[in-house]
Amino acid sequence: MSPLVSVIIPTFNAEAKLPVSLTSVLEAQTPFSSLEVLIMDGNSSDGTLETAREWERRDSRVRVCSEPDKGIYDAMNKGIARAQGRFLYFLGAGDMVRPHILAELETLPDLHPLLLLHGKVWHEGANIGPGAGAVIKKIDLARYNIPHQGAFYGRGVFETVGLYDPRYRIYADHELNWRCWTTPAIETRFWDRVVADFEAGGASSSRYDPEFERDWPRLVWQRGGPLAWASFQISQRYKPEQLVLLQKLRALLRRRGV
């Protein structure tokens, strides 16, 4: 029987960080066992591979692949191709899944293949309100992304919208989520739980992704239409305190049921 969750961890020279994530997934989730862990190593030059192989020997749920890749999202795509789980979950080395969260996932109703279930994440200094992320529409996703550490993707999601686009070395997850939110067949559902603690300072903390910056306005317009495009443009041209205009637009759209 296929496991419920495939946890995909891309690594490169993450010897010190990898055990933190593996402990959170494999030892803090008892009694949950319906999972596999795929460590997709980018041919590390430190002790990452040795560490991964040791965990593989200790736990039959762990599988390791080490080969050169073209970046994090290329490694994630390779993990998708190898994954056997009904849901796919992506964790960075150093990130930690909250205790028992996978067992809670198993109890949720209507976990179908075209579901993108997204919860909340936390890191030092974050301020998460009780309803953070509860209602995310296209005009929101045009401006900001959801963290991959909080998202569970049904296997059918990737079969429907495709894989990560590795041309976008930092924001390919934003572009993929945009395809999900703008594909009617995909259900996006909020889970009001803090799913993981993520480590600040990872690859996503770098904001330089010139290909994404070049293409994003066009992608927003093509798949989201003028309202989403306007939302994005406002977020680029105004300071955060000036975005009250966007909040008023959001309130108007809600009243009209958009």
User: 9-45: per-residue pLDDT in tens?
Assistant: 999 999 999 999 999 999 988 788 899 999 999 999 9
Measured between alpha carbons, how far is 242 from 33 in angstroms, rounded to an integer?
Answer: 48
Q: Does residue 37 or residue 200 have the better pLDDT?
A: 37
Alpha helices in 162-209 (DSSP H): 172-181
Orientation angle between helical segments 172-181 and 210-237, nearest 10 degrees: 60
5-255: in CATH 3.90.550.10: yes
pLDDT of residue 216: 97
Instruction: List, in sequence order, every beta strand (DSSP E) within the chain.
Output: 5-11, 35-41, 62-66, 87-90, 96-97, 115-122, 151-154, 187-197
Measured between alpha carbons, how far is 145 from 168 in angstroms, rounded to an integer?
Answer: 14
**How does the average pLDDT of the chain come out, rounded?**
89
Residues forming beta bridges with residue 121, ordered by sequence position: 196
**Residue boundaries of the structural domains of the chain:** 5-255
Measured between alpha carbons, how far is 194 from 190 in angstroms, rounded to an integer?
Answer: 11
Q: Is the whole-model pTM more than 0.85?
A: yes
